[in-house]
Amino acid sequence: MLIGFGAALFVGSLLGLVSDLIGRKKTCLVFFILHLIVGILKMVAPSPSFWVANLCLSLATSIFSFSFETWGVVEHDKVDSKLGHRQDILNETFWLMTFFESASLIGSQVIGNWMVGGNLEKGIGSPSIAATLLAILGITCMSRHYDGTTKIMTFKDYRMSFSVYILGDRRIWLLACAQACLHFSIAVFWILWAPTLVADGREVFLGLIYPCLLGARMLGSTVFPWLINASLRTEDCLTCAFVVQALLLSIIAYDYEEIGVLVTQFSLYHACIGLILPLLARLRTMYVPNELRGGMISLSLAPANAAILFILMQRGYYRTIENSTMIVFAAVGLFMAAGCMYVLKRCGKQPYQNWHKL
């Protein structure tokens, strides 16, 4: 984990900037190529180097956090120039991306379990074959529709624009802080959810609980269009969702619960994630220029990755903190995210409509 989050911190944080400069499709291709490399390594080597696989997968995860969303927004801009109604189409896209991401994760678990079968030692390479085939399919599809996206701006122009429109705007800082706090809490959850459930020797079927959590995220994402149609402020919705998440983690950290209660709390936490992700994407569309979107997202995750590295060192290496303390840190971060959304609402300024006209 230290290797993976270290790569996400020192390399992944810069990939968004590179994506904005060289084109989003090229970065998405790199995502599939990294998965292809890992799949081939696992098929060729009986015991592939764990740190190489973890490094590639961590970089792929960093790319996934910004590349496909940024590419989708840019493509919607092209459609908007012909049809209009950009924001309505984007709102539908944001929650559908969250919905189908969770659905695909459930599907991957089903396929993996089916390919591994009952004999773990004999079937361990099968999921790697499936992942390799899917990566090849993704590369093929993107290569066939690749239109040779050119560089949007020079590095000098990009640096100046980033300094003015991202680093020079406190609203972007508030949004980035909220994104980092959410990323930190999600990472802490996935590190500790299994140890929390099996504490005191309790026997649970983690393979059955995992799809339930993702299903809760899918249901949470379906609430997004209802809130938008109700004309509620995005910042208000995010503030409430962050507070609910923080309270849930606080209860988990300090109170011993039975399996049923824990799974219910975990599910509610993930339902909030399903709602928060498209809401944050909507705010990014309001405040962040498309040409700088990838760099803003990847850099905003750097503090979260640094914090994760710190707690992993303290818990896994030095053993100076407990699991409950890590969950408390995640809850505090979510309360901070709620505060950022409250302050962002109080700013009372109009978002960017077309940054080229400023």
The per-residue pLDDT for 45 is: 76
Q: Among candidates 80, 72, 85, 97, which has minimal Cα distance to 290? A: 72
- Going from the N-terminus, what domains does the chain have, and what CATH number goes with each? 1-342 (1.20.1250.20)
343 burial level (CB within 10 Å; 0-12, 13-18, 19+): middle
DSSP state letters, 40-80: HHHHH-SS--HHHHHHHHHHHHHHHTTHHHHHHHHHHHHHH
Predicted pLDDT of residue 19: 93
DSSP assignment letter at 125: T
H helix intervals, the chain = 2-7, 13-22, 24-44, 50-64, 67-83, 86-116, 120-123, 126-144, 155-162, 170-197, 206-229, 234-254, 259-287, 293-300, 302-312, 323-347
Contact 282, 232 (CB under 8 A): no
Per-residue pLDDT of the chain (358 residues; tens, 9 = 90+): 888 999 999 999 999 999 999 988 899 999 999 999 998 888 887 566 778 888 999 999 999 999 999 998 988 877 665 555 566 788 899 999 999 999 999 999 888 888 776 555 555 557 888 889 999 999 998 887 665 555 567 889 999 999 999 999 999 999 999 999 999 999 999 999 999 998 877 888 888 999 999 999 999 999 999 998 888 899 999 999 999 999 999 999 887 678 899 999 999 999 999 999 999 999 999 999 999 999 999 999 999 999 999 999 999 888 899 999 999 999 999 999 999 999 999 885 544 444 443 3
pTM of the model: 0.91
- What local confidence, expressed as pLDDT, does residue 304 receive? 96
The residue type of 172 is I
- Which residues lie below 8 Å from residue 238, measured CB to CB, with a gap of 6+? 178, 276, 279, 280, 283, 337, 338, 341
Tokens representing 268? Answer: 């509610």
Closest CA to 302 of 20, 5, 17, 70: 5
Over the Cα atoms of the chain, what is R_g?
A: 21
70 vs 301: CA distance, rounded Å: 15
If one counts every other C-beta atom within 10 angstroms of the C-beta of residue 143, the result is: 11
What's the confidence (pLDDT) of residue 83?
A: 56
Q: What is the chain's length?
A: 358
Q: What are phi and psi of 205, to 5 degrees?
A: -100, 90
Nearest to 56 by CA among 42, 32, 35: 35
Contact 35, 60 (CB under 8 A): yes
Please work out, in degrees rounded to the nearest 5, the angle formed at the alpha carbon of residue 84 by the alpha carbons of 281 and 170. Answer: 35
Three-class secondary structure of residue 321 per DSSP: coil
Q: Please give the Cα distance from 292 to 163 (Å, whole number).
A: 10
Q: How far apart are CA 325 and CA 117, in angstroms?
A: 38
- Write down the pLDDT at residue 266: 96
Three-class SS of residue 161? helix
